[in-house]
Structure 1
Amino acid sequence: MTYSSTQTITPFSSNTALALGFSGTLGNIDAYISAVNRLPMLTHEQEMDLAKQLRENNDLNAAQQLVMSHLRLVVSIARGYLGYGLPHADLIQEGNIGLMKAVKRFDPDQGVRLVSYAMHWIKAEMHEYILKNWRLVKVATTKAQRKLFFNLRSHKEGLDSMSQAQIESLAKKLDVKREEVIEMEMRLSGRDIAMDSQSDDEDDKFAPIAYLKTEVDEPTHVIEAQRYDKLQSEGLETALSKLDARSRHIIESRWLQNDDGSGATLHELASEYGVSAERIRQIESAALKKMKSALAAYA
Structure 2
Amino acid sequence: MDDKARRSMINAAMAAPYLERAEELELAQRWRNNHDQDAMHRITVAHMRLVISMASRFRHFGLSMGDLIQEGHVGLLEAAARFEPEREVRFSTYATWWIRASMQDYILRNWSIVRGGTSSAQKALFFNLRRLRARLARGDNMLTGPALYKEISSELGVSEADVALMDSRLSSPDSSLNAPMNDEGSGSADRMDFLISDAPLPDEIVGETIDVERRSGWLHKALGVLNDRERQIIAERRLQDEGATLESLGEALGISKERVRQIESRALEKLRVALVSGSSAFLA
Relative to the length of structure 2, the TM-score reads: 0.53
Letter in 2 for 1:45: A
Does the 8 Å contact 1:137/1:193 carry over to 2? no
Alpha-carbon distance in structure 2 between the residues aligned to 1:69 and 1:103 = 12
1:53 aligned residue: 30
CA RMSD between the two structures:
2.6
Following superposition, the deviation at residue 77 of structure 1 comes to: 0.8
Does the 8 Å contact 1:136/1:192 carry over to 2? yes
Alignment match of 1:163 (pick from 139, 144, 147):
144
User: What count of residue pairs does the alignment treat as equivalent?
Assistant: 169
Correspondence 1:99-114 to 2 at 5 A = 99-114=76-91
2:61 aligned residue: 84
Alpha-carbon distance in structure 2 between the residues aligned to 1:138 and 1:87 = 19
Structure 2: state its 5+ residue gaps: 138-142, 177-284
| Helix, strand or coil at the partner of 1:139 | coil
2:57 pairs with 1:75: no
Alpha-carbon distance in structure 2 between the residues aligned to 1:193 and 1:114 = 42
Letter in 1 for 2:112: R
1:123 aligned residue: 100
2:159 pairs with 1:182: no
Correspondence 1:3-82 to 2 at 5 A = 8=2, 27-82=4-59
Bigger radius of gyration = 2
Does the 8 Å contact 1:83/1:153 carry over to 2? no
The change in CA–CA distance for 1:169 and 1:40 in structure 2 (over 3 A counts) is farther
Relative to the length of structure 1, the TM-score reads: 0.51
Does the 8 Å contact 2:108/2:115 carry over to 1? no
Alpha-carbon distance in structure 1 between the residues aligned to 2:76 and 2:118 = 25
1:192 aligned residue: 174
Correspondence 1:221-232 to 2 at 5 A = none
Following superposition, the deviation at residue 156 of structure 1 comes to: 4.2
Choose between structure 1 and 2 for higher RCO, CA contacts under 8 A separated by at least 6 residues: 1
Query: Which structure has the highest helix share of the two?
Result: 2
2:123 aligned residue: 146
Following superposition, the deviation at residue 31 of structure 1 comes to: 4.5
Structure 1: state its 5+ residue gaps: 1-6, 10-26, 195-299
Q: Write the deviation string for residues 199-258 of structure 1: whole angstroms up to 9, x where unpaired.
A: xxxxxxxxxxxxxxxxxxxxxxxxxxxxxxxxxxxxxxxxxxxxxxxxxxxxxxxxxxxx
| Helix, strand or coil at the partner of 1:140 | coil
Following superposition, the deviation at residue 67 of structure 1 comes to: 0.3
Alpha-carbon distance in structure 2 between the residues aligned to 1:106 and 1:99 = 10
Following superposition, the deviation at residue 98 of structure 1 comes to: 0.9
1:274 aligned residue: none
